[in-house]
Amino acid sequence: MPRTLIHDWNGERTPAPNARAELNDETLRDGLQSPSVTDPPPEAKLRLLHLMADLGVAGVTIGFPAAGPRMLAQTRLLAHELARARLPLAANAAARTVEADVATIATVAQEAGIPIEAAIFIGASALRRESQGWDLAEMLGLSERAGRFAIREGLPVMFVLEDASRTDPETLRALYAHAIGWGARRLCLADTTGHARPRGVERLVRFVRDEVITPSREPVALDWHGHRDRGLAVANCLAALAAGADRVHGTALGCGERAGNAEMELLLANFHLMGLPHGDLTLLPEYCRLASRALGLRIPANHPVVGADAFRTASGIHGAAILRAEQRGDRELAELTYSSLPAGAFGLEQRYALSSMSGHAMVRHWLEQHGYDPTDEALVESLLAAAKQADRAMSDAEAERVVRGVGVGH
């Protein structure tokens, strides 16, 4: 019933026209390009792989096997686990427009006995062409040779244009149309530098969909891969879906080069809110905690969904309203009173902290939750006074010391 009380100015709950949007997890490939992360141990990678499947992620990038021995070993490890456990994840692996890169993917696919999509990438913008010394004819030739080799080896191809968000339309048209001609059945627009804004994403996706894919009359899927240099990665993913993209990419905790990639946990949270397909979101905290430990990334307290403060309030006004809803026995109403995300969907609970912003209602709640008499006015006033003097939220241990100082026991 509480949801009927929300007027949603966001419009449709699912981004038209594609209500079957999918997610691709790049944590163990693009995410590892961050200069600050640690390459996780094999057991952590395997557990992350299983969590991706349980969370309802559709695809996973299992490596860039031509990058070196460690990445080749990882690609093999994950490919064999996908085969052994029969996980419902579509695997892909990265390759430059070089036959030798593609050959390593083909070898792993044959060893594991599973299909692996070759994500063949090349920089498309004039900036990239200038820095590489490429011309368009050379790029078309490089792409076709690598792509046709992949197809001869039995690999499906995702053709990725790096820096697509800063590439002119005619270059995009030429490269993508040519790729469809030689057999690519998935295209990927990469916002490699996080340059795009949501309106630009919509225009870019619609251009490729309407001007390249539709005229080809081929069953070609379209992906969006975005970075968060401007802090817009998740918003850009949602804009891409609304404009007709089939799949968007993300990483755990947004790990990735420079400022990182779109945060997978936030994409999943938004999929939940929009009624899009996903799996068991109660596993999302484990996914993020494991990624944090294995990658060496700290989760900020104010990080949405999985930060320590995501479902924790210290404001007396907010807390009192939430508590009144809880006292009515309406958990959903309580969860949505001061949050757009229901904590229970992620296996979490609303929590409260005592601070200088707290009031009587929250102090009484804390006392009741910790086995003290919430009607003892002397105790309530002493604890409230201590909270009002604190320069930050009190810990439970600090609150307990105040209570013991008043001479009250459980």
Task: Tell me which of 3 and 357 has the higher pLDDT.
Answer: 357
Strands 22-25 and 351-352, bridge-based pairing: unpaired
Q: What is the pLDDT of residues 37-65, one digit of tens each?
A: 999 999 999 999 999 999 999 999 999 99
Q: Is it the case that residue 408 has pLDDT exceeding 90? A: no
* Dihedrals phi, psi of 121, to nearest 5 degrees: -120, 150
Q: Which domains does the chain have, with CATH numbers?
A: 2-295 (3.20.20.70), 312-405 (no CATH)
Average pLDDT over residues 385-407: 88
Check residue 110 and give its pLDDT.
98
CB–CB of 314/352 below 8 Å? yes
CA distances from 94 to 119, 157, 160, 342 (A): 5, 10, 9, 36
**Cross-strand bridge partners of residue 94:** 119
Check residue 16 and give its pLDDT.
55
Q: Is it the case that residue 405 has pLDDT exceeding 90? A: no
Q: What is the pLDDT of residues 235-251, one digit of tens each?
A: 999 999 999 999 999 99
Residues found in the chain: 410
Name which of 191, 201, 197 is nearest 261 in CA terms.
191
pTM: 0.93
Longest dimension (CA), the chain: 83
Task: Tell me which of 358 and 112 has the higher pLDDT.
Answer: 112
Q: Is it the case that residue 15 has pLDDT exceeding 60? A: no
The DSSP call for residue 310 is T
Check residue 409 and give its pLDDT.
60
Residue owning tokens 């996780």:
40
- Tally the C-alpha atoms within 13 A of residue 335's C-alpha that lie toward its C-beta: 17
* Dihedrals phi, psi of 95, to nearest 5 degrees: -155, 145
Gap between the Cα atoms of 124 and 116, Å rounded = 24
Average pLDDT over residues 62-88: 98
Name which of 310, 298, 228, 309 is nearest 269 in CA terms.
310
The confidence band for 407, taking pLDDT boundaries of 50, 70 and 90, is low
The separation between CA 309 and the C-alpha centre of its own chain, rounded to angstroms, equals 19
Q: What is the pLDDT of residues 212-239, one digit of tens each?
A: 999 999 999 999 999 999 999 999 999 9
Look up residue 95 and give its two tokens: 């390759």
pLDDT averaged over the chain?
93
Q: What is the pLDDT of residues 150-193, one digit of tens each?
A: 999 999 999 999 999 999 999 999 999 999 999 999 999 999 99
Q: How far apart are the first and last CA of the chain?
A: 38
What stretches of 346-395 show up as alpha helix (H) in DSSP? Answer: 360-369, 377-389
Gap between the Cα atoms of 136 and 140, Å rounded = 6
